[in-house]
Amino acid sequence: MNVYEEVSAFYQSYRGEKAVIGESVCGRRIYAMFIGTHSGPLGISQYAMHAREWIGAHLALWHVRRGLVRGGVWVVPLVNPDGALLVQEGAGSLSRGRRAELLYLNGSGDFSLWKANARAVDLNVNFDARWGTGAKNIRVPSAANYVGITPFSEPETKALRDFTRAVSPQFTISYHTKGEEIYWRFHQPFFRARRDRRLAGILSAATGYPLREAPHSAGGYKDWCIESLHIPAFTVEAGRDSFSHPLGLSSLSDIVTKNLDALVRFTEEF
């Protein structure tokens, strides 16, 4: 099975609270599953927003299996299903018209390093958080870094935005790969930065990953949560830097070992 089929099958068998939060460009469902309870801290943890980082969806399913001791988290395992399948299966996963367009943009049939969705928009620069001002942002469709025609131009980012507003989480965690580091800062004022730095320290202690800042990036989900919702939000870059993109199943054991208890520890100490 491909990663979308695996997530779909897991979702169908999951007996807890769950929801379809939207659909991708190609009409694939974006799933969410709730773990824990609605008492205590409430958060969202999302994975595999970048196509070549589909391995994060497998970590998400491990987090669902692990569950929580305190609080609750909505787990969104696969934000970019079209992109993930493009990396895993190539252009054959797309309709004929979209296939021709992306083959032209990519310059070859090798989509192994593709980050964007099926419209060649990088979802993690498509949020309305100083949109288009990132140092690496570009204005034309591409495998990576294209910001889209407007903030929230993509159905995937709209779905995650609307779901986040509906849930009203107290925090969000975004799982990406790779590098084994945690990003937590996006222009917060002093008192919120002090709060968020303390919480980032919990994730750092749970995973062993150091904290980092990325002052020249913008438009990410983390950034939007911090700037628009004023909540703590974190990007965890899982997977050793020595691994090559796209990280495959051979990297999963290492990632799970270092991250399995991250949500448990975070909600316990929030």
pLDDT digits (tens, 9 = 90+) for 134-190: 999 999 999 999 999 999 999 999 999 999 999 999 999 999 999 999 999 999 999
The predicted pLDDT at position 97 comes to 83
pLDDT value, residue 95: 87
131 contacts 1 by C-beta, under 8 angstroms? no
User: Which helix (H) or strand (E) covers residue 237, if one does?
Assistant: strand 233-238
Kindly report, residue by residue over 46-87, the tens digit of the pLDDT. Answer: 999 999 999 999 999 999 999 999 999 999 999 999 999 999
Average pLDDT, the chain: 97
Estimate the crossing angle of helix 55-66 against helix 252-259, to 10 degrees.
40
User: How much is the pLDDT for 9?
Assistant: 98
pTM value is 0.98
Whether 100 shows a pLDDT value over 90: the answer reads yes
φ/ψ region of 94 (left if φ > 0, alpha if ψ in -120 to 50, else beta) reads: beta
Q: What is the CATH superfamily name and number for domain 3-269?
A: Zn peptidases (3.40.630.10)
- The answer, yes or no, to whether residue 250 has pLDDT greater than 90, is yes
Q: How confident is the model at residue 243 (pLDDT cuts 50, 70, 90)?
A: very high
Confidence tier at 201 by pLDDT (50, 70, 90) = very high
- Start-to-end CA distance of the chain, whole Å, equals 37
29 three-class SS: strand
User: Where residue 96 falls among pLDDT bands split at 50, 70, 90?
Assistant: confident
For 114-147, the pLDDT digits (tens) are 999 999 999 999 999 999 999 999 999 999 999 9
Mean pLDDT value across residues 181-208: 98
